Amino acid sequence: MPAIEILVILVAGFGAGAINAVVGTGTLITFPTLVAFGYPPQIATMSNAIGLVAGSVSGTWGYRRELRGQWQMLKWQIPASFLGALLGAWLLLHLPPSVFATVVPVLMIAALTLVIFQPRIQAWARRRSEAAGVAVDHLGRVKLTLLTIGTFAVGVYGGYFTAAQGILLIGVMGVLVSEPIQRMNASKNLLTLIVNVVAALSYTIVAFDRISWSAAGLIAIGSLIGGSVGARYGRRLSPRALRAAIVVLGVIGLWRLLD
């Protein structure tokens, strides 16, 4: 592997790890980088998913304080992400990549719209809860069911194509959960870690010989450092700044998907 290729993949991995910790569109950096160096799309997808696990670990660890007190939701979301990722990984290995080509942009637009209007949606939900005499932070059976189904659906998407699954998760949780966006971001990091681990293990078991382990290793090194840096500075962003970062990077990611 040429030195310039090694350097570029390392830098791409660092950028992806940092962005994933804050937003969740890092794959839109590393995936095109691998394709630009001549890796076939399916090999690039699998190698990238394996490499980004390291960044997901460091990003989740960096947000560990914000995860406290969220077990009521996570005990349902974790298995939903796990099962969804299994199905998504199976789909990647059995369906052509073009299947989701028209669906992904629509999902991205919907998720970004939810992120933009999340404060208004939460304010509306708060008013309804107060009028009904229900605690604002109460997560009823209907909401919990919808949250679990939404998390499963994003897990399927993440197991198939990891790009922007974090934005989709933030969009789903923002509608159903009365939590500050930084706490939702912490949950997003944990759930995407689970999806990435499941996908990586599935690819390793089923398609070991079709993975570029050198590329995956370089992305892992870069993303491990990037995830730690992203979490360190991402946690300091105000809710408005974090939401703005999600939208801006999401729009860039959407543009790259449609390009």
pLDDT for residue 135 is more than 90: no
Q: Note whether 36 and 45 are within 8 A (CB).
A: no
pTM of the model: 0.79
DSSP state letters, 162-205: -TTHHHHHHHHHHHH----HHHHHHHHHHHHHHHHHHHHHHHHH
pLDDT tier, 168 (very low <50, low <70, confident <90, very high otherwise):
confident
Contacts with 102 (C-beta within 8 Å, 6 or more apart), sequence order? none
Q: What SS3 class is residue 211?
A: coil
Least confident of 14-18, 109-113, 211-215: 109-113
Predicted confidence at residue 134, as pLDDT, reads: 42
Q: Is 217 exposed, middle or buried (0-12, 13-18, 19+ CB in 10 A)?
A: middle
CA-wise closest residue to 185 among 249, 235, 224: 235
Predicted confidence at residue 132, as pLDDT, reads: 47
- The rounded distance, in Å, linking the Cα atoms of 76 and 100 is 26
Burial 138-155 (b: 16+ CB within 10 A, else e): ebeeebbeebbebbbbbb
pLDDT tier, 20 (very low <50, low <70, confident <90, very high otherwise):
confident
For 200-230, what is each residue's pLDDT tens digit?
Answer: 898 899 888 889 999 999 999 999 999 999 8
Predicted confidence at residue 81, as pLDDT, reads: 94
Q: Give me the mean pLDDT over the 38-44 stretch.
A: 83
For 241-251, what is each residue's pLDDT tens digit?
Answer: 766 766 776 67
pLDDT for residue 19 is more than 60: yes
- The rounded distance, in Å, linking the Cα atoms of 59 and 68 is 15
Predicted confidence at residue 68, as pLDDT, reads: 86
